[in-house]
Amino acid sequence: MIKNICCIGAGYVGGPTMTVMAYKCPEINITVVDLNKNRIAAWNSDNPHDIPIFEPGLAEIVMKVRGKNLFFSTDVESAIDKADMIFMSVNTPTKEYGKGKGMAADLKYIELCARQIAAVSKSDKIVVEKSTLPVRTAEAIRSILDNTGNHVKFQILSNPEFLAEGTAINDLLNPDRVLIGGLQTPEGKAAIEELTAIYAHWIPREKIIQTNVWSSELSKLTANAFLAQRISSINSLSALCEKTGADVTEIAKAIGSDSRIGNKFLTASVGFGGSCFQKDVLNLVYICKTLGLEEVAEYWDWVIKMNDYQKHRFADNIITTLYNTVSGKKIAFLGWAFKKNTNDTRETPAMYVADTLMNDLANISVFDPKVSPNQIFTDINHVNGKSDEENQKQLSFVSDPYEACQNAHAVVILTEWDMFKTLDWKRIHDGMMKPAFLFDGRNLLNAEDMTALDFHYKGIGK
């Protein structure tokens, strides 16, 4: 019976996942640890608005269980020492140096975790891979854990997370499935059962899929690759729609009604963002390349190439439409987060569109209801390497959507926040330079309504 859990990594996955687990398993003590002191302090704040991750419903549950059976701490060692089960929920970004640069997953944080667990543990433990990892990572972790010489026995499980940001709490409370992979030995199977019993507190057993470790690791990369591929597929056709008079929304509806295809993940957009799709598909490509599967690697690489094409196509289209230059023109960005209902901006298409427009000397005014002003400068610096001072000459953040659009030559919707649907679009039009252009990177608004207001409206794939 598991009594004490430690989760290493208090990020977008570790924080919400453990919050829901603590809520559903009141008899288990869960400590979430992180090296980032500010992040832990924010998780411990008494003000729900300070919780470091914005997710609908998250702060309420944190307030219910924190201090009872859920704890946030920077004391990594003592949490590891006490735990019967340890989740590794650290970041696994794309490697930015050396071998595999720009493609492989950087496993240095995972390796560090494994070494810490090996160094500190005095009793047997189940170690759970929660982070998204390349297939066969459990082998490397095992070799680190099994060579400590302190006779502690470890079982390694793979339990990838499938939550999507913005809907994390609902995804965690009602997942389509939970996947648990482990060694097919008696000890491995017993460990799988221990973790299954935890999830069974709130998830029907038939939704808990048990596999071998390698299938579980590779299923996670495969799931993200398939989802990203659907978006790239519909986005590729959005370009064809724009040339032929077909409407990509009508096509998505027509094909999505076929139960074999299904209607989800068929929304054409400015491109997918987020911390995982690109990194996980690139990781898949890298694994295939290193195993000599060039054609397979190339096949998946096109999912990323198509996404890059879509972001550039969208930005180029703005410049072309605005008479081939945006120099000195004010462009309003509504939304910066990579999707609605999150404050996460990792790989947001907005920063790439901004970069292209700033290279053409546009002045961009950004409004986003959840993203902080500092974050947009961190993001644009990540793309163009320029200082905040330099970027501030062309990029500004305002806390009111109408102010962002005042005197703008064009408004660009980058995130599908619900609040944008109910803005007073007549008021926005009245305040803009004429002709007033509206580029809807999310097909959020009704084209006919906007045209009736005299906007020059351009959606995706229409």
- Which one of 88-96, 225-233, 262-270, 387-395 is the stretch in contact with ligand NAD (CB under 6 A)? 88-96
Q: Give 9-30 as a DSSP string.
A: --STTHHHHHHHHHHH-TTSEE
Residue selected from 18, 58, 85, 163 as contacting ligand UGA according to rule CB under 6 A: 163
Q: Check if the beta carbon of residue 302 is closer than 8 Å to that of residue 281.
A: no
438 by DSSP, 3-state: which? strand
Quick note: the x/- pattern for ligand UGA over 275-304, rule CB under 6 A, is -xx---------------------------
The CA distance from 425 to 383, in Å, is: 31
364 by DSSP, 3-state: which? strand
Measured CA to CA in angstroms, residue 7 lies from 34, 65, 145, 446 at distances of 9, 16, 17, 45
Show the beta-strand stretches assigned E in 90-194: 125-129, 154-158, 178-182
The CA distance from 52 to 277, in Å, is: 22
Minimum Å gap between C-beta 216 and ligand NAD is: 13
Q: Is 265 in the site for ligand UGA (CB under 6 A)?
A: yes
Q: Check if the beta carbon of residue 166 is closer than 8 Å to that of residue 56.
A: yes
The CA distance from 459 to 462, in Å, is: 6
* DSSP conformation class of 276: S
**Token output for 205:** 């057993």
Angle subtended at Cα 219 by Cα 215 and Cα 220, rounded to the nearest 5 degrees = 130
- Which one of 101-109, 181-189, 269-277, 285-293 is the stretch in contact with ligand UGA (CB under 6 A)? 269-277
The one catalytic residue in 95, 220, 340, 458 is: 220
**188 or 335: CB nearest ligand UGA:** 335
For residue 6, the one-letter residue type is: C
- Which one of 183-191, 254-262, 267-275, 393-401 is the stretch in contact with ligand UGA (CB under 6 A)? 267-275
From the list ligand UGA, ligand NAD, none, partner contacted by residue 35 (C-beta under 5 to 8 A by kind):
ligand NAD
Q: Check if the beta carbon of residue 233 is closer than 8 Å to that of residue 308.
A: no
Q: Is 83 in the site for ligand NAD (CB under 6 A)?
A: no
Residue selected from 24, 25, 32, 39 as contacting ligand NAD according to rule CB under 6 A: 39
322 by DSSP, 3-state: which? coil
Angle of helix 213-244 relative to helix 137-145, nearest 10 degrees, comes to 150
Listing from the earlier edge strand, what are the strands of the sheet with 125-129?
70-73, 29-33, 4-8, 85-88, 125-129, 154-158, 178-182, 208-212
The CA distance from 297 to 294, in Å, is: 5
From the list ligand NAD, ligand UGA, none, partner contacted by residue 9 (C-beta under 5 to 8 A by kind):
ligand NAD
From the list ligand UGA, ligand NAD, none, partner contacted by residue 188 (C-beta under 5 to 8 A by kind):
none
Q: Is 276 a catalytic residue?
A: yes
Minimum Å gap between C-beta 13 and ligand UGA is: 8
Q: Is 161 a catalytic residue?
A: yes
The CA distance from 165 to 390, in Å, is: 32
Residue selected from 31, 229, 249, 269 as contacting ligand UGA according to rule CB under 6 A: 269
Q: Is 131 in the site for ligand NAD (CB under 6 A)?
A: yes
The one catalytic residue in 55, 129, 161, 347 is: 161
Q: Is 338 in the site for ligand UGA (CB under 6 A)?
A: yes
Q: Check if the beta carbon of residue 35 is closer than 8 Å to that of residue 73.
A: no
Q: Is 231 in the site for ligand UGA (CB under 6 A)?
A: yes
- Those residues whose C-beta lies under 8 Å from the C-beta of residue 5, and which sit 6 or more positions away, are 18, 21, 28, 29, 30, 31, 83, 84, 85, 86, 87
Q: Is 457 in the site for ligand UGA (CB under 6 A)?
A: no
**145 or 163: CB nearest ligand NAD:** 163
Tell me the residue nearest to ligand NAD as measured from the CB: 11
Q: Is 30 in the site for ligand UGA (CB under 6 A)?
A: no
Q: Is 9 in the site for ligand NAD (CB under 6 A)?
A: yes
Minimum Å gap between C-beta 3 and ligand UGA is: 28
Q: Which of residues 62-81 bind ligand NAD (CB under 6 A)?
A: 76
From the list ligand NAD, ligand UGA, none, partner contacted by residue 34 (C-beta under 5 to 8 A by kind):
ligand NAD
From the list ligand NAD, ligand UGA, none, partner contacted by residue 453 (C-beta under 5 to 8 A by kind):
none
Q: Is 241 a catalytic residue?
A: no
| Residues contacting ligand UGA: total by CB under 6 A | 20
Catalytic positions are 161, 220, 276
Where along the sequence are the contacts to ligand NAD (CB under 6 A)?
8-14, 33-36, 39, 76, 89-92, 109, 112-113, 131-132, 161, 163, 165, 275-276
Note the residues at the interface with ligand UGA (CB under 6 A). 132, 161-165, 224, 227, 231, 265-267, 269, 272-274, 276-277, 338-339
